[in-house]
Structure 1
Amino acid sequence: MVNDTQAVLIKAQDQLTQRDVDQHLERLAKFKQFMPRYRDTQALGAVAAMVVTDEVADYAYRQGLFVLAQSGENVVILNDAQFQPQGGNWGKKPGFDPLARLLPLLRPA
């Protein structure tokens, strides 16, 4: 799903596993490299499944992914109000910003 400023990259399964989440994170980390026309778009990740265990849902949530699951005849978003989507930083260490480390070196003394 894409609009002018954001793209949501969704992996859908019948039953979601941690391995599925990890594979999706690997693809998300490469998205802008292989789809350069979206380089200025905020990429958000999501996983969706008919069956999602609490453990896998929590793991995906902690990785910064939206988690969608079947609830009766509907699909619900399992993320709570405190959720902060990763927004394209997959594969990077939390809190690691290489540009922030370089900027002081580039400024004149």
Structure 2
Amino acid sequence: MEAVQTAESPATFEEIREILHRNAIGMEELRKRQEETAQLIKETRESQKETDRQMKEYNRRFGDFTNRFGEVVEYMIAPNLCDKFEEFNYYFQRAVSNSRYKDHKNNIRFQVDVMLENGDLAMLVEIKTKLETADVKEHIKRLEKMRKYADLHGDKRAFLGAVAGVVIEDPVKEYALTEGLFLIEPSGESFNITQPGNKPKEW
């Protein structure tokens, strides 16, 4: 018995036209989605740029506020420091704000928020709105620079250190005192000074 061979009928013109029509619709939908996606990406980028601009402006204004607030704190504390330290038998004749020290030859450069001075002794005071451990470490480096600068310029005075802050967390307080620094913090309309448990460190 002979096998009967069958072949699929070729697509008609109408079927081909329907397939092409569907493909065209699909391509049009794809093109629209691509355009929508591109527009969404563009809008997202523009929105991100605006967000970045707003964040920069916020950071600038917050930085200005923090700096000004820090200056207010400094001016509140500085004038009374000499009197306050008399309670610890330290008699300073003057308090100098924002002293700058430069020695280009020896690559030394630093600034002191408040320097309390007399003939034999000086104290470097660092004042922050919020005092962090990193600020304490930086102040210790500043005291080391002060010692080096003084030795190079014939200044034989001993130097003490103190840190002050409106907000100071307990671990930061403990660290500062352990390192031999005086701790200055607000108390009502005035401020308190805490002396290190051991003898204050001299540089």
TM-score normalised by structure 2 residue count: 0.40
Question: Which of 1 and 2 has higher RCO (CA within 8 Å, sep 6+)?
Answer: 1
Which piece of structure 1 moves more, 31-40 or 21-30?
31-40
Q: What is the deviation of 1:14?
A: 0.7
Residue identity over aligned pairs, in percent, reads 32
Segments of structure 1 that go 5 or more residues without pairing to the other structure are 89-109
Which piece of structure 1 moves more, 34-43 or 19-28?
34-43
Distance in 1 separating the partners of 2:156 and 2:122: 10
Q: Give the RMSD, CA atoms, in angstroms.
A: 1.6
Q: Does 1:12 align with 2:103?
A: no
Match of 2:173 among 54, 57, 71: 57
Deviations 1:42-84 (A, max 9, x none): 100000111111110110000010000011211101236x431
Larger radius of gyration: 2
Point out 4+ residue stretches in structure 1 off by more than 6 angstroms: none
Distance in 2 separating the partners of 1:38 and 1:6: 14
> Residues 50 and 38 (structure 1 numbering): CA distance in 2 closer, same or farther, change over 3 Å?
farther
Match of 1:44 among 152, 160, 166: 160
Q: What is the deviation of 1:16?
A: 0.3
**Paired residues of 1:50 and 1:69 also in contact (CA < 8 A):** yes
Q: Which residue of the partner structure matches residue 13 of structure 2?
A: none
Higher helix share: 2
